[in-house]
Structure 1
Amino acid sequence: MNHVSGRDEVPAGNVALVTGASRGVGRGIALGLLAAGFEVYGTGRSIDQADLPREIRRLRCDHLKDEETAHVYEVLRSEQGRLDLLVNCAWGGYEKMVEGGAFTWPAPFWEQPMHRWTGMIDAGVRAAFVCSAHAARLMTPQNGGLIVNISFWAAQRHLGNTIYGIAKAATDKMTSDMAVELKPFDVPVISLYPGLVRTEAVLAAAESGAFDLSTSESPEFIGRVISALFHDPNLMARTGQVLVAAAVAKEFGVLDTDGSSPPALTLGDIRDGL
């Protein structure tokens, strides 16, 4: 299977793994890929209780534990013998944003609780690295596949807190360097930036007026964009790049679940405190 040639002829049934698929963006990506014809495997600590259709293969996994991640790939090898798409979405950075009545998310780095480092760097960046290493062992022999790392504008300016910026900048650098090493095997690696996504947490915050949802994206929208990228016959030309999901959607004519075309945010549109 070659990643570039014949993409338009690839039938439905490509195997996708979405980490952090229990809720939020990860859940939406899993749903979007399922609707696009992928055989979807989803991981998460609470995946057994997630609101997902039975067609999605659930694999309970705490990606802080390497042995549990390894088991996920053992199942993939046993049941499929291949992996065509990995979406690294596992992330513990938004947990415990309020502690003891205090909103600690925007605190200066010297006042940040160290669990936030664990949630963003270990459960985020490190988990993506380990999952990508396992995926590469499946993708390089087949000379094809795609790895997508979900990232954000915090890689490029201060947003919220220092640890957040470190995590996203590390994700983008990881994407760039992995792309160099995987290029001879026709396996592209992409960093993908969502916009304001209507996750459970964002919808709850919007009720109090914290967010204007008029230009927001559904979680499934990101899955639709990833599917369009996967089927792009010229995707290798983008490997190592940072892409904005809504900009990719406009290029390929991808619409959101409500038929809308979300605007592609730029760095200037992003405000502090997110």
Structure 2
Amino acid sequence: MTNERERSEAPTGNVALVTGASRGVGRGIALGLLAAGFRVYGSGRSIDQADLPRELRRVRCDHLKDEETARVFDVIRSECGSLDLLVNCAWGGYEKMVEGGAFTWPAPFWDQPAHRWTGMMDAGVRAAFVCSAHAARMMTPRHRGLIINISFWSAQRHLGNTIYGIAKAATDKMTSDMAVELKPFAVPVISLYPGLVRTESVLAAAESGAFDLSTSESPEFIGRVINALFHDPNLLARTGQVLIAAAVAKEFGVLDIDGSSPPALTLADIPFEG
């Protein structure tokens, strides 16, 4: 356990936890927040092997296991005493997309493997709910904090498969209802939609022509957007809303790491399926 002397000598600054920070969007968010001056904690099953700066505090966690999730918050409480920002990015929905040589991702719901529900609903939605409950216990006494749930357009239109839509729609509804209960404590909750993000998997797919990266975003971009939201003095007025990261960036003048301004996608830009 960290004693009071160690805590007083710990680095100052706003404390953030990014779940699912080992790779992809979560890793990018962690890097973006670290560059913005946050003291960042990153959790994930493979966080110890992740390509992350030494300044980022790694806490290995399988968010399918509640006791491991509780430990993450115990570590933050012990080392910092408070938590200012939670970004729920843990997500197992993109694992094992190809099985036995078959691409099972777009299969109809009756042919979907059972693990996809676990990866999206349990490792995604349920993990976000449990983490948010822990965070709320730390934030509400201080009347300070922000919870961000990473979501996507599949909440509003069929994309890929039915479970994907269920998971993201549940995330947006969870955001809306949590916001009602947290608003009296001045803790906003936001659902944030990224665009096409140049994650490791997207870059690999782009080599085969699967994606046009001309309007894509770096993984760090959404971390920059979250930093801008965190410092918005009128943020509580947005609580419970679904926000598009690129639209928020334009509002606050946030640029990507290459100086570009990614376009804000709308529902009309998302390919319709079904």
TM-score (norm 2): 0.95
Contact 1:140 1:187 in 2 (8 A): yes
Percent of aligned pairs sharing the same letter: 89
Whole-Å separation in 1 of the counterparts to 2:93 and 2:64: 13
Counterparts of residues 110-125 of structure 1 (less than 5 Å): 110-125=110-125
Letter of the 2:121 counterpart:
I
Whole-Å separation in 2 of the counterparts to 1:196 and 1:157: 16
Whole-Å separation in 2 of the counterparts to 1:272 and 1:63: 32
What stretches of structure 1 move > 4 A for 4+ residues in a row?
none
TM-score (norm 1): 0.95
Structure 1 residue aligned with 2:96:
96
Contact 1:160 1:272 in 2 (8 A): no
Counterparts of residues 71-90 of structure 1 (less than 5 Å): 71-90=71-90
Structure 1 residue aligned with 2:56:
56
Structure 2 residue aligned with 1:270:
270
Is structure 2 residue 241 aligned with structure 1 residue 238?
no
Whole-Å separation in 1 of the counterparts to 2:123 and 2:250: 32
Q: What SS does the corresponding residue of 2:190 show, helix, strand or coil? A: strand
Letter of the 1:61 counterpart:
C
Is structure 2 residue 96 aligned with structure 1 residue 131?
no
Whole-Å separation in 1 of the counterparts to 2:108 and 2:226: 35
Provide Cα deviations, 1:178-207, integer angstroms capped at 9, x if missing partner.
Answer: 000000000000000000000000000000
Q: What SS does the corresponding residue of 1:147 show, helix, strand or coil? A: strand
Structure 2 residue aligned with 1:217:
217
Is structure 2 residue 154 aligned with structure 1 residue 154?
yes
1:271 shift after superposition:
1.2
Q: What SS does the corresponding residue of 2:58 show, helix, strand or coil? A: strand
Q: Which runs of 5+ in 1 are unaligned?
A: 1-11
Whole-Å separation in 1 of the counterparts to 2:211 and 2:95: 19
Structure 2 residue aligned with 1:109:
109
Whole-Å separation in 2 of the counterparts to 1:212 and 1:156: 23
Letter of the 1:27 counterpart:
R
Letter of the 2:172 counterpart:
D
Whole-Å separation in 1 of the counterparts to 2:73 and 2:42: 12
Structure 1 residue aligned with 2:7:
none
1:34 shift after superposition:
0.3
Higher RCO (CA < 8 A, seq sep 6+): 1
1:13 shift after superposition:
1.0
1:272 shift after superposition:
4.2
Q: Say what the alpha-carbon RMSD is for the aligned residues.
A: 0.7
Whole-Å separation in 2 of the counterparts to 1:218 and 1:250: 15
Letter of the 2:26 counterpart:
G
Provide Cα deviations, 1:228-272, integer angstroms capped at 9, x if missing partner.
Answer: 000000000000000000000000000000000000000010114
Provide Cα deviations, 1:104-155, integer angstroms capped at 9, x if missing partner.
Answer: 0000000000100000000000000000000000000110100000000000
